[in-house]
Amino acid sequence: MADNDRAPLGVGMIGYSFMGAAHSQAWRTAPRFFDLPLDPQMRVLAGRDPERTAAAAHRLGWDSTETSWQALVARDDVDLVDICTPGDTHAEIAIGALEAGKHVLCEKPLANSVAEAETMVAAAEAAEQRGVRAMVGFTYRRVPAVQLARQLVADGRIGEVRHVRAQYLQDWIADADAPLSWRLDKSKAGSGALGDIGAHIIDLAQFVTGEQITGVSGSLRTFVTERPVATEFAGLSGQGGTERGPVTVDDAAVFLADLSGGGVGVFEATRFAYGRKNAIRLEVNGSKGSVAFDFEDMNVLHFYDAADDPVVAGFRRIQVTEPQHAYIGHWWPAGHGLGYEHAFTHQAVDLVEAIAAGDQPTPTFADGLAVQRVLAAVELSSESGARRVEP
Ligand code: SOE
């Protein structure tokens, strides 16, 4: 039931795998830990398989189901459409929902191409004129330690940005016998490590520095070119059969980047870093100091102030768990820490608050398009051998 003194916000979600589960957790917890101006109601989950969708709706906490995104979007009790599907469906669903007057939250990357992303931005800008909002799901921005890093840079605490060093390291397909999934199929995912996890570090670098990537020189690799076809798959793992199929995306992406403030960046996204399960590392070196974040120690930010007394200078290990830090006051006492899932809750909170205030939530679809342009520039540089490609 909707909370009596707050207007309901009917939510419909499409897709119920890894991201669907993370977003469902966010919709369940957001109104219970944050005083929201609207009351999110988990109205409907859409999936193609009726039985599996019904089971997922029961497990994840959705009131009803539909077997098509069109039926979900058409419902009068849906005010916001949450897209948790592979990238090949983002454009048609987001544009359909925006044109139907529904707010949209779309998982990253925004689309599988710059052209698609441009059509989504156009639809979002037209919908904004009617008070309809759209956000793209770069959730790592909403980790409190990342928020603190951005604040320190914005406050000039590290001076002018000279270096960005960004890595996103996973190993879930380092085993050549790990089966195929939609993330390894270009027609579904658009690209491999580059778009799936490289997109995150591109957005993080631009978010924390407040600068844009203005040129890249990149190289993509596919180490394993065919794999067993999956007989079952969930999240990031599954079972393969005897049939084999082609890998049509990159396994790893590395690139150099120019930053709009004159600095330089080194980026690495791979699914073959054995031992690294979800290691996101960002270090920004400036003219007056540095900040460094490692998702494997996600409640901590390291900060170096070059003005410190050399006798006692060193990286400060800041526990970002004080009530003064972003979002923390709504959760636990100092030192208890947050997890991967909390950034999804923060994402839902910020979206609901923006909708209620009539503000534009961030990251916008235009922010998503900016990331898409960098992805395309890295792909072009890798394919052409061009030393520098502008996004
Ligand atoms: C797989 O790499 C994945 O699920 C990404 O798609 C998500 O965006 C990331 O948060 C976790 O890993």
Q: Report the Cα–Cα distance between both ends of the chain, in Å, rounded.
A: 47
At residue 1, the pLDDT reads 47
Residue 88 lies in domain:
3-139
Q: Which of 139, 159, 176 is at the close of a domain?
A: 139
Q: Is residue 342 part of a domain?
A: yes
The string of pLDDT tens digits covering residues 118-148 is 999 999 999 999 999 999 999 999 999 999 9
- Tell me which DSSP letter residue 389 carries: B
Query: Would strands 300-305 and 264-270 be described as parallel, antiparallel, or unpaired?
Result: unpaired
Ligand 1 pocket member 332 (CB < 6 A): no
Q: Could you tell me if 90 and 111 are in contact, meaning their C-beta atoms sit under 8 angstroms apart? A: yes
The string of pLDDT tens digits covering residues 306-354 is 999 999 999 999 999 999 999 999 999 999 999 999 999 999 999 999 9
Residue 248 sits in the same domain as residue 134: no
Domain count for the chain, please give it: 2
Separation of CA 129 and ligand 1 centre (Å): 32
Cis before residue 50, ω within 30 degrees of 0? no
Residue 39 sits in the same domain as residue 157: no
Torsion of CA 19, 20, 23, 29, to 10 degrees: -130
Residue 3 reports pLDDT greater than 80: no
Tokens of 314: 């060193």
Integer Cα distance of 378 and 375 in angstroms: 5
Q: Is residue 391 part of a domain?
A: no
Q: Is residue 117 part of a domain?
A: yes
Ligand 1 pocket member 298 (CB < 6 A): no
Residue 206 sits in the same domain as residue 313: yes
For ligand 1, pick from 17, 18, 200 the residue to mutate: most ligand atoms within 8 Å of CB. Answer: 18
The mean pLDDT value of the chain amounts to 97
At residue 357, the pLDDT reads 98
Q: Is residue 36 part of a domain?
A: yes
Residue 4 reports pLDDT greater than 70: no
How would you label 167-195 residue by residue, b for 16+ Cβ within 10 Å and e otherwise? Answer: bbbbbebbeeebbbbebbbbebbbbbbbb
Q: Is residue 389 part of a domain?
A: no
Residue 31 reports pLDDT greater than 90: yes
The string of pLDDT tens digits covering residues 89-127 is 999 999 999 999 999 999 999 999 999 999 999 999 999
The string of pLDDT tens digits covering residues 42-59 is 999 999 999 999 999 999
